[in-house]
């Protein structure tokens, strides 16, 4: 099979097409002929050499795929050859074939293309686990999504909007402010202080839940924006890992909860449970054509470097995917 390899840490140019064996199939795995794969920020970090795959996991990047099941392990009963599926992988998605635990695999919702389905797993698993399970977000609440133009950001915005939440988000371009206006109150953090703006918009009340990918530089302003019993969920630190001069009293008086997680550190059982929750709560919406992933660009496998360059640029709004055909 063909697959994408990383020759050495660096820019998009280090991504190369190689030839290798189709991955072996475990008893609880499904083998997917990949039709499309999502491109995500962890793939960029892996390419740069700062987020390597865990020991024993394939070095082939790619955390989400969509395609057709061609074989199943001896213990798999939920899927059969010919099924159209999407899956959260443990790596190996940038390839023509990928072996994935069956518990991390889901049927493609009706009406979605392979490219749209490939844009679902990494972001929807992440958003559901962090915003709705750990962050306990409820339909009547308000939420602030940082990094609103990212794949995770657009997923969170569309899902929260569909569930009836009041959504605020931060982006870095006026074009993105306009594009997200039907779904959220978007704030250009380059021209406005987002904390001051949200305080104005909420009459100083703040928001119930914050989903943050920026990290340290935003921590104190996030804390100030939380309502009493508010929840701050941190899933990235693109701006830095260290938060300075944190006022513990503010945390206590607000009875705030601060938490964070990564998807990679979760067990197969945890991922299976997230998949089941998505199928119960989100798949019915997707099947009705609601909160479908926003695809910014699609590239053939041979143009993987361009796909990574697109994500590197920061100009995208939504997801970038690659296709294998």
CATH 3.90.1010.10 fits 124-260, yes or no: no
Strands across the sheet containing 166-171: 185-188, 166-171, 142-145, 207-212, 226-234, 257-260
Q: Where in the chain is the domain with CATH 3.40.50.720?
A: 124-260
Task: Quickly list H helices, the chain.
Answer: 41-48, 114-118, 121-127, 151-162, 174-180, 194-201, 219-225, 248-253, 268-281, 283-287, 304-313
The burial of 294, by beta-carbon neighbours within 10 Å (0-12 exposed, 13-18 middle, 19 or more buried), is given as: buried
| CA 184/CA 197 separation, integer angstroms | 14
CA 318, chain centre distance (Å): 10
Q: Are strands 319-323 and 29-39 parallel, antiparallel or unpaired?
A: antiparallel
Q: Where in the chain is the domain with CATH 3.90.180.10?
A: 2-118+293-323
Superfamily of domain 2-118+293-323: Medium-chain alcohol dehydrogenases, catalytic domain (3.90.180.10)
CA 72, chain centre distance (Å): 26
Task: Quickly list DSSP for 90-144.
Answer: SS--SBSEEEEEGGGEEEPPTT--HHHHHTSHHHHHHHIIIIIIIS---TTSEEE
Contact between residue 119 and residue 64 where contact means Cβ atoms under 8 Å apart: yes
- In tens digits, the chain (325 residues) has pLDDT values of 999 999 999 999 999 999 999 999 999 999 999 999 999 999 999 999 998 888 889 999 999 999 999 999 999 999 999 999 999 999 999 999 999 999 999 999 999 999 999 999 999 999 999 999 999 999 999 999 999 999 999 999 999 999 999 999 999 999 999 999 999 999 999 999 999 999 999 999 999 999 999 988 999 999 999 999 999 999 998 888 898 999 999 999 999 999 999 898 899 999 999 999 999 999 999 999 999 999 999 999 999 999 999 999 999 999 999 999 7
């Amino acid at each position: 099979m063909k697959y994408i390899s990383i020759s050495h840490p660096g820019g998009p140019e280090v991504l190369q097409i190689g030839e290798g064996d189709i991955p072996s199939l475990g008893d609880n795995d499904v083998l997917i002929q990949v039709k499309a794969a999502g491109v995500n920020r962890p793939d960029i970090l892996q390419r740069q050499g700062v987020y390597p795959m865990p020991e024993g996991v394939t070095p082939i990047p790619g955390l989400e795929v969509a395609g057709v099941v061609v074989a199943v392990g001896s213990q798999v009963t939920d899927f059969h050859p010919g099924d159209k599926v999407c899956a959260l992988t443990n790596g190996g998605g940038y390839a023509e074939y990928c072996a994935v635990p069956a518990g991390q695999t889901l049927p493609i919702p009706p009406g979605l293309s392979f490219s749209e389905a490939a844009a679902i797993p990494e972001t929807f698993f992440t958003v559901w686990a962090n915003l709705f399970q750990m962050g306990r977000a409820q339909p009547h609440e308000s939420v602030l999504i940082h990094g609103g133009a990212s794949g995770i950001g657009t997923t969170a915005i569309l899902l929260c909007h569909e569930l009836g939440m009041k959504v605020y988000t931060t982006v870095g371009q006026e074009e993105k402010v306009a594009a997200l206006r039907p779904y959220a109150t978007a704030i250009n953090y380059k021209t406005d202080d987002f904390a001051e703006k949200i305080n104005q918009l909420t009459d100083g009340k703040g928001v119930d839940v914050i989903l943050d990918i920026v990290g340290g530089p935003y921590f104190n302003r996030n804390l100030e924006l939380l309502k009493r019993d508010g929840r701050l969920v941190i899933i990235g630190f693109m701006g830095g890992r260290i938060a300075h001069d944190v006022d513990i009293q503010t945390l206590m008086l607000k009875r705030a909860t601060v938490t964070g997680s990564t998807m990679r550190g979760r067990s197969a059982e945890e991922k299976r449970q997230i998949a089941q929750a998505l199928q119960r709560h989100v798949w019915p919406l997707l099947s009705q054509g609601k909160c479908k992933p926003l695809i910014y660009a699609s590239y053939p496998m041979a143009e993987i470097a361009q796909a990574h360059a697109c994500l590197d640029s920061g100009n995208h709004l939504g997801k970038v995917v690659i296709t294998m055909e």
